Homo-oligomer: A and B are copies of this chain.
Amino acid sequence: MLIIDCHGHYTTAPAKHQTFRDAQIARIKNPALPEPTRPDISDDEIRETIETNQLKLLRERGADMTIFSPRASTMAHHVGDEAVSRAWTEACNDLIKRVVDLYPENFIGVCQLPQSPGVPIANSVAELERCVTELGFVGCNLNPDPSGGHWTAPPLTDKHWYPFYEKMVELDVPAMIHVSGSCNACFHATGAHYINADTTAFMQFIEGDLFRDFPDLRFIIPHGGGAVPYHWGRYRGLADMLKRPPLPEHVMKNVYFDTCVYHQPGIDLLFKVIDIKNILFGSEMVGAVRGIDPETGNYFDDTKRYLDSLALSDDDRYRVFEGNARRVYPRLDAALRARGNAGRDL
């Protein structure tokens, strides 16, 4: 069995990558500055940042592979215009590709999108296609709020998003619904904006009929589904009040939660109320919460430990650590099969 972490970001990219971004931002304020060129980053520089961080932790924690995407908090689709977002996005995605090429056994790519507030999502289709068909990526991170905390885009069930969903279905790739940093002082990025976005997206799916139009569309809602599992009774009750079908058929054929919940009681709840077919192992490592829990002596985000404490059957362990990820990301499954790993048929 492989241990596949469905949620990892390149939060430790070489400093030069951020310097490029800083130059981009400086040029927004002062257009007289030259357009920055992408830095020369050597393979060794990438190795250094990966081997001392994500790969080290992957090994220490006994996991095999991370579905890897650019740092979420710095996607910052609200910074600058669409051209800025596009240049930054391409640089971020190309850097992920280099990590994957250096460690193909351990990382597989998921892309950032060149979203920008007020810009049609159709404009993100080409970058998705490039990343999937040319770079071998297996999914994308879709930001439901490119405004960074002002929520000016329509709900995810709105036809605004349909051109992108059509391409996702055509390419057979899922999206993780993931906001970026917040430029609204009310919302701390990882403490409020992320969790709120997860909760918001789920409720949008209850209200809408998106999966009637796209029965094959698949979303991962990260951070354990935001507030949803804790309030599972509320969501079941709201679906009932709104005359929607029960959640298992209305939403949960298409929506998956990761396990980025940083304490045992939260993980226990997640596995108690959500069908194991809808749960994918994830840690968001190295990410939002980097410290060690004084109550356990272990890293808060070492979520594999919490899962190992559950009394899961071998089949269920396979589902949450490998099988569900292969099902939700068919291109990951295909890549593993191409290496001779057919997985199990459950």
Q: Are B204 and A186 in contact (CB under 8 A)?
A: yes
Q: Are A203 and B191 in contact (CB under 8 A)?
A: yes
Asked if A289 CB lies within 8 Å of chain B CBs, one says: yes
Identify which of B184, B195, B261, B289 contacts A241 (C-beta below 8 A): B289
Set of chain B residues within 8 Å of A273, measured between Cβ atoms:
263, 265-266
Set of chain B residues within 8 Å of A261, measured between Cβ atoms:
230-231, 233-234
Asked if A114 CB lies within 8 Å of chain B CBs, one says: no
Asked if A192 CB lies within 8 Å of chain B CBs, one says: yes
Asked if A154 CB lies within 8 Å of chain B CBs, one says: yes
Q: Are B227 and A185 in contact (CB under 8 A)?
A: no
Q: Which of A38-46, A91-99, A129-137, A145-153 contacts B (4 or more CB under 8 A)?
A: A145-153
Indicate how many identical chains form the complex.
2
Interface size on A, residues (CB 8 A): 58
Contact flags A197-240 to B (C-beta < 8 A → 1, else 0): 00110011011000000000000000110110111111111101
Bound CA–CA A115/B149 (angstroms): 22
Q: Are A230 and B269 in contact (CB under 8 A)?
A: yes
Q: Are B233 and A224 in contact (CB under 8 A)?
A: no
Q: Are B224 and A185 in contact (CB under 8 A)?
A: no
Bound CA–CA A329/B169 (angstroms): 54
Nearest chain B residue, comparing its CB with the CB of A246: B294
A15-74 residues with Cβ-Cβ distance < 8 A to B are none
Set of chain B residues within 8 Å of A301, measured between Cβ atoms:
237
Q: Are A199 and B192 in contact (CB under 8 A)?
A: yes
Q: Are A186 and B234 in contact (CB under 8 A)?
A: no
Q: Are B200 and A196 in contact (CB under 8 A)?
A: yes
A-B contact pairs, 14 of them (CB 8 A): A150-B151, A153-B186, A188-B238, A192-B200, A196-B196, A230-B261, A230-B266, A231-B266, A233-B293, A233-B300, A234-B288, A237-B288, A238-B288, A241-B291
